């Protein structure tokens, strides 16, 4: 039997580099996958698939390699008694290109003729090859590369100014980048989900926020499909089927949380865990899911080659999901006066089965008295849906920049 690596090399020989990126697009409507898939596919020519996925996806989606000139508004995080900024957010605000090597844990910032080099765990950085000592080390927090607040004053401010706001004509048209979104209101019918001390049911909170988000997305010109639009029970498998069968660009599942410790509170977003094997899912998908391969260069129709493409897609989608989850959390941090727990990975069935970027948003803890009161307030639920929308918009802006760079 042909090995996975041998099959991949044969795919390269049969189809050529420029066609591989197109294969990823066969899973969706033309233009629905951002241009980063082209970058991803080209890089896989000379490297093993799994490691290439990490090199390409993590710098781009976790660390914000794509840049956006906007007014600087960067959330502050508390870590080990010190205040930190998200390095990706700082770079985004100033139009800085950020690259990160996960193996050496080193990052490089470049703009014009300026460079900054740093390493996770080290408080010594190089600014244009000049050593600068920070009060606290560079670190990782909630899946983000973070730097102490003094980094901005000592390293960025002297050499890189805040980028000017983009002209109005460059405002992203969401529907041109994200055409179809499936919104899943968790629980429903005989399954109430979490129930607060005063009787507020999660299924009702989820549905109200999901409806509001759907209306906001439709106003942006996006086609929206809801897994449920009333108080009915939908099995988890069916919810994922809706997203996969409709070839959605994004899958957003809305939930409210609960914990035995009633003091726990906050907003968090989940993406599919790296412990969920992409290669295992790819092998299953290659055998059970139809792949519309119209290209004559793929005449062999090899199961191994199909599995490679599915593997690429699943790995790519995890990176997209991380980016989307981070953008939703940042928007919530800007709009809501609540604790932002951040992004987390999980093996939730509803995330494992999705064949597109997918996140599960936990809007708050019904087990917490204050957050139950907030979630009972219709105006607060509107703020939540607005925050999720803004997160999706920010995610789309990154796609717009990458596609613009492609030309």
Is the domain of 146 the same as that of 179? no
Distance CA 325, CA 252 (A): 10
Inside any domain, residue 58: no
User: Are residues 148 and 179 located together in one domain of the fold?
Assistant: no
Same domain, 123 and 188: no
> What is residue 282's predicted lDDT score, i.e. its pLDDT?
58
- pLDDT the model gives residue 194: 97
- Are 250 and 368 contained in the same domain? yes
The residue range of the domain holding 271 is 169-406
| Domain membership flag for residue 23 | no
Indicate if 392 and 286 belong to the same structural domain. yes
Q: Determine the pLDDT at residue 306.
A: 67
DSSP state of 251: E
The answer to whether residues 178 and 241 belong to one domain is yes
Helices (H), 87-142: 87-94
What does the pLDDT look like over 24-41, one tens digit per residue?
Answer: 444 444 333 333 333 333
Choosing from 130, 156, 182, the residue where a domain stops is: 156
Q: Which band of pLDDT confidence, cut at 50, 70 and 90, is reported for residue 62?
A: very low
Q: With contact defined as beta carbons under 8 Å apart, do 158 and 213 qualify?
A: no
Looking at the chain, the whole-number percentage of residues with pLDDT higher than 70 is 68
Residue 40 lies in a domain: no
In terms of domains, do 96 and 177 share one? Answer: no
Segment of 75-84, 102-111, 131-140, 254-263 carrying the highest mean pLDDT: 254-263
Last residue of a domain, one of 156, 183, 203: 156
CATH number of the domain where residue 179 is located: 3.40.630.40
Indicate whether 10 belongs to any domain.
no
- Residue 387, in any domain of the structure: yes
Which residues touch 112 (CB under 8 Å, ≥6 apart)? Answer: none
Number of domains present in the structure of the chain? 2
The pLDDT of 81-102, averaged and rounded, is 84
- Using 50, 70 and 90 to split pLDDT, how confident is the model at 160? confident
141 found inside a domain = yes
Query: Is 293 in the same domain as 390?
Result: yes
Q: Are residues 204 and 80 part of one domain? A: no
The chain-wide mean pLDDT, for the chain, equals 77
Whether residues 353 and 386 share a domain: the answer is yes
**CATH code assigned at 101:** 3.30.457.10
Out of 128, 156, 184, a domain closes at: 156
> Taking the complete model, does pTM exceed 0.85, yes or no?
no
Domain for residue 334, yes or no? yes
Q: List CB contacts of 48: < 8 A, sequence separation 6 or more.
A: 5
Burial (Cβ within 10 Å: 0-12, 13-18, ≥19) of residue 275: exposed
* Same-domain status, 150 and 173: no
Q: Are residues 103 and 202 in the same domain?
A: no
Please check whether residue 380 lies inside any domain of the structure: yes
Residue 305 has pLDDT above 90, yes or no: no
Strand partners, 117: 108, 126
173-208 tens-digit pLDDT: 677 789 999 999 999 999 999 999 999 999 999 999
């Amino acid at each position: 039997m042909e090995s996975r690596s041998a099959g991949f090399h044969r795919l390269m020989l049969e189809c050529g580099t420029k066609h591989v990126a197109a294969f990823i697009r066969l899973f969706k409507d033309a233009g629905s996958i951002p241009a980063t898939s082209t970058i991803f596919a080209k890089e896989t020519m000379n490297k093993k698939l799994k490691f290439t996925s990490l090199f390409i996806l993590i710098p781009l989606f976790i660390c914000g390699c794509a840049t956006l000139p906007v007014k600087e508004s960067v959330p502050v995080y508390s870590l080990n008694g010190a205040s930190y900024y998200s390095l990706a957010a700082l770079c985004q605000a100033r139009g800085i290109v950020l690259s990160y090597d996960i193996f050496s844990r080193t990052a490089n910032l470049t703009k014009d003729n300026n460079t900054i080099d740093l390493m996770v765990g080290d408080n010594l950085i190089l600014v244009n090859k000049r050593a600068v000592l920070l009060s606290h080390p560079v670190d990782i927090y909630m899946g983000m590369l973070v730097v102490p607040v003094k980094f901005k004053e000592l390293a960025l401010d002297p050499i890189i100014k805040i980028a000017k706001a983009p002209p109005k004509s460059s405002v992203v048209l969401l529907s041109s980048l994200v055409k179809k979104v499936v919104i899943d209101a968790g629980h429903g019918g005989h399954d109430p989900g979490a129930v607060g001390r005063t009787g507020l049911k999660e299924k009702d909170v989820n549905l109200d926020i999901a409806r509001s988000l759907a209306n906001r997305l439709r106003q942006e010109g996006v086609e929206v499909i809801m897994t449920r639009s009333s108080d009915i029970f939908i099995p988890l498998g069916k919810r994922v089927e809706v997203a996969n069968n409709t070839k959605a660009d994004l899958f957003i599942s809305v939930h409210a949380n609960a914990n035995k410790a009633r003091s726990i509170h906050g907003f968090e977003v989940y993406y599919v865990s790296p412990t969920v094997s992409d290669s295992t899912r790819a092998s299953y998908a290659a055998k059970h899911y139809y792949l519309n391969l119209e290209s004559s260069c793929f005449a062999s129709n090899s199961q191994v080659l199909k599995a490679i493409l599915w593997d690429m897609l699943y790995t790519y989608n995890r990176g997209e999901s991380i980016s989307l989850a981070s953008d939703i959390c940042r928007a919530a941090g800007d709009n809501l006066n609540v604790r932002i727990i951040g992004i987390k990975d999980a093996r939730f069935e509803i995330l494992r089965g999705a064949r597109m970027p997918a996140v599960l948003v936990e809007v708050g803890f019904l087990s917490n008295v204050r957050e139950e009161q907030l979630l009972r307030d219709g105006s607060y639920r509107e703020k939540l849906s607005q925050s999720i929308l803004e997160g999706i918009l920010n995610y789309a802006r990154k796609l717009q920049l990458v596609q613009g760079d492609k030309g």
